[in-house]
Amino acid sequence: MNSNILPKKSLGPDAEQFRREEQRRKVEGATSYDELFELVKRVVESEIGRHRAGLALVLTDMPNTVGAFHPVGSNSIVLNRALINAMNVVVKNEKEINSFVFMVLMHEYLHSLGYLNEIEVRRIAHRISKAALGPDHWTAKMAVGNWLEMYPQLSMVVQRLMPDSFERVDKFDSSSMSYIG
């Protein structure tokens, strides 16, 4: 176990359930990458006591086997736009798509915090998801699952990949902005 992970103070069972339901509503009702990422930062800090500010989100097209990546030493998360588009074709449930994006952003955010081992990141993301959203929530399943096994239709979605096309999301990590831009 990583010594940088601090245990979270436990609330009573009713308060924990209320907190989980509120977090679920926020994740499932989010309308932007920025909203989802602010929730990611909040639950990660609440669960492991670590945070980082000043990240940028870049969208590009990659094969469906890649969700996103964080170039080590950078301030960026690069999210697979083609995969998100394919998820919108395969999964008609916006709540589930939000949960997927939330999980991918959390996974890469943990990398940006210095957790580089994939197995460790999956384990931490799973623990955070269970604590913040409940063990039965999509994010908890996605944290340790393989999305091509969970959504086999993704492998059949025809993609028009434009791998040299990068799009910077203007409003992202907005709570880290100390000025009006």
Per residue in 3-62, pLDDT (tens digit) is: 444 445 566 778 889 999 999 999 999 999 999 999 999 999 999 999 999 999 999 999
Question: Is-contact 129 20, C-beta < 8 A?
Answer: no
Closest Cα partner for 109 from 6, 14, 36?
36
Judge whether 68 lies within some domain.
yes
- Residues spanned by the domain of 127: 13-175
Judge whether 4 lies within some domain.
no
Strand order in the sheet with 56-60: 68-69, 76-80, 56-60, 167-169
Judge whether 72 lies within some domain.
yes
pLDDT of residue 31: 97
If one counts the domains in the chain, the total is 1
Judge whether 69 lies within some domain.
yes
Stretch 81-88: mean pLDDT: 94
pLDDT of residue 60: 95
